[in-house]
């Protein structure tokens, strides 16, 4: 495990009533954010995702082709931030995506979506995804360890993957699977532990568990990120994923990030939204007509 980061959690107890009250304030702020400019920003944060058992190389190549052709089709609209696929399809995206791309290739790894496999398999899968061309890897926190109160194993796995496998990869995103955690308090504990283990991003959900992303979990995660930055002086990103399908959903998470973390986090390097159907919905609301491009 990496050396312990000098960070003592200043707010270890989560006040759920305070979370609800803060979200009501953010909901009012979000009403002012329904503008075309914000929708464009939200699109630029999207990790365009397909994680179906039926995905084929043709699916991955078609995703990359759409991203390649997007600037010529929509000249004044920013492209998505990333393309997210299973590790076996990373090479297909890599070979299809234009070399001058500014869109990241994202892969899930480490036994996604459950993390229920042998640790050496998790490490090897992440390494193989990176060797195939992934810029970023989204891994699931070992819930079976965390829920058994084995925090050392939970977080040492993340640190080890980061130290040994992600050297050539720009970002390691750690999925907390907040819908499977028993309380907002556990979301806070998991967030702090993953950041101390050198996670580059905290991500809400795999999208395979109900509920997926929730505003409550997102707020707790963003508050933890803010406290970590103020004390450890390292910016950690936030990714909302899991059931985010509408423009209103996207604006909700945009508003949370803006309210808690500020304008500095409103860029793809620090904020992502994982989604499959959302890009078309955002595009439709940007152009004012029904779009089915993605």
Domain residue spans of the chain: 16-287
CATH architecture under which domain 16-287 falls: Alpha-Beta Barrel (3.20)
Q: What is the mean pLDDT of residues 200-213?
A: 96
- Other CB atoms closer than 10 Å to residue 24's CB: what's the count? 9
Averaged pLDDT for residues 112-117: 96
Taking only the tens place, the pLDDT of each residue in 24-36 is 999 999 999 999 9
Residue 215 has pLDDT above 70, yes or no: yes
d(C-alpha 39, C-alpha 34), whole Å: 7
> Rounded to an integer, what distance in angstroms lies between the CA atom of residue 227 and that of residue 106?
27
**CA–CA separation, 151 and 167 (whole Å):** 24
The pLDDT score that the predictor gives to residue 169 is: 57
Measured distance CA(126)–CA(108) in Å, rounded: 8
What is the structure's pLDDT at 164?
74
The tokens describing 195, both together, are: 């950041």
pLDDT confidence of residue 11? 82
Between 184 and 2, residue with greater pLDDT: 184
The residue annotated as part of the active site, out of 162, 203, 249, 258, is 203
- In the chain, % of residues over pLDDT 70: 96
Catalytic: which of 135, 239, 249, 258? 239
Helices 184-196 and 215-232, packing angle to 10 deg: 40
C-alpha separations of 167 from 17, 135, 143, 203 in Å: 41, 10, 25, 20
The confidence score (pLDDT) of residue 6 equals: 64
Would you state the pLDDT for residue 219? 98
- Whether residue 1 is predicted with pLDDT greater than 50 in this model: the reply is no
pLDDT higher than threshold 70 for residue 8: yes
For helices 247-261 and 278-287, angle between their N-to-C axes, nearest 10 degrees: 90
**Annotation marks residue 289 as catalytic:** no
Q: Is pLDDT of 9 > 90? A: no
Percent of the chain topping pLDDT 90: 91
Per-residue model confidence (pLDDT) at position 31: 98
Residue 239 designated active-site: yes
Q: What is the mean pLDDT of residues 38-50?
A: 98
Q: Please report the pLDDT score of residue 184 as a whole number.
A: 98
Instruction: Tell me: pLDDT of 2 over 70.
Output: no
User: Is 3 a residue whose pLDDT tops 60?
Assistant: no
Q: What's the pLDDT at 43?
A: 98
Does the active-site annotation cover 249? no
**Cis ω before 211 (30° cut-off from 0):** yes
Nearest to 87 by CA among 111, 59, 118, 63: 111
Model confidence at 212, pLDDT cuts 50, 70, 90, reads: very high
Catalytically annotated residue among 47, 138, 227, 249: 138
pLDDT of 168 reads 54
Residues 6+ apart with CB under 8 A from 37: none
Q: Mean pLDDT score of the chain, rounded to an integer?
A: 94
- Give the phi and the psi of residue 219 in degrees, each rounded to 5: -65, -45
Residues in CB range of 53: below 8 A, 6 or more apart: none
Cα-Cα-Cα-Cα torsion 55, 113, 177, 203, nearest 10 degrees, comes to -60
Residues 214, 186: contact at Cβ < 8 Å? no
For residues 10-19, give the mean pLDDT.
Answer: 92
Q: Region 274-288: what's the mean pLDDT?
A: 97
pLDDT digits (tens, 9 = 90+) for 138-181: 999 999 999 999 999 999 999 999 887 665 557 999 999 999 99
Can you give the pLDDT at residue 244? Answer: 97
* Alpha-carbon distance values, 283 to 51, 78, 212 (Å): 21, 10, 23
**202 Rama sector, left if φ>0, alpha if ψ -120 to 50, beta otherwise:** beta
Contact 246, 262 (CB under 8 A): no
């Amino acid at each position: 495990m990496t050396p312990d980061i000098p960070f003592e959690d200043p707010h270890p107890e989560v006040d759920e009533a305070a979370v609800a009250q803060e979200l009501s304030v953010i909901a009012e702020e979000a009403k002012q954010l329904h503008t075309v400019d914000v929708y464009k920003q939200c699109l630029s944060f999207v990790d365009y995702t397909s994680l179906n058992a039926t995905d084929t190389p043709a699916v991955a190549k078609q995703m990359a082709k759409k991203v390649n052709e997007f600037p010529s089709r929509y000249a004044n609209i920013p492209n998505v931030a990333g393309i997210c696929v299973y590790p076996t399809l990373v090479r297909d995206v890599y070979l299809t995506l234009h070399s001058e791309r500014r869109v990241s290739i994202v892969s899930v790894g480490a036994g996604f979506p459950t993390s229920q496999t042998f640790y050496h398999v998790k490490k090897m899968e992440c390494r193989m995804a990176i060797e195939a061309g992934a810029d970023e890897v989204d891994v699931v926190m070992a819930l079976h360890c965390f829920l058994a109160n084995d925090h050392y194993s939970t977080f040492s796995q993340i640190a080890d993957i980061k130290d040994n496998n992600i050297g050539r990869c720009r970002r390691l995103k750690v999925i907390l699977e907040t819908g499977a955690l028993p309380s907002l308090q556990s979301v806070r504990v998991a967030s702090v532990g993953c950041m101390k283990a050198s996670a580059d991003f905290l991500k809400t959900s795999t999208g395979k568990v109900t509920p997926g992303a929730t505003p409550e979990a997102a707020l707790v995660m963003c508050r933890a990120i803010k406290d970590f930055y103020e004390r450890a002086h390292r910016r950690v990103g936030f990714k909302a994923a899991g059931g985010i399908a509408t423009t209103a959903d996207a604006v909700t998470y945009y508003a949370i990030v803006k309210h808690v973390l500020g304008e500095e986090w409103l860029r793809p390097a620090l904020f992502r939204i994982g989604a499959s159907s959302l890009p078309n919905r955002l595009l439709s609301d940007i152009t004012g007509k029904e779009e089915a491009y993605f």
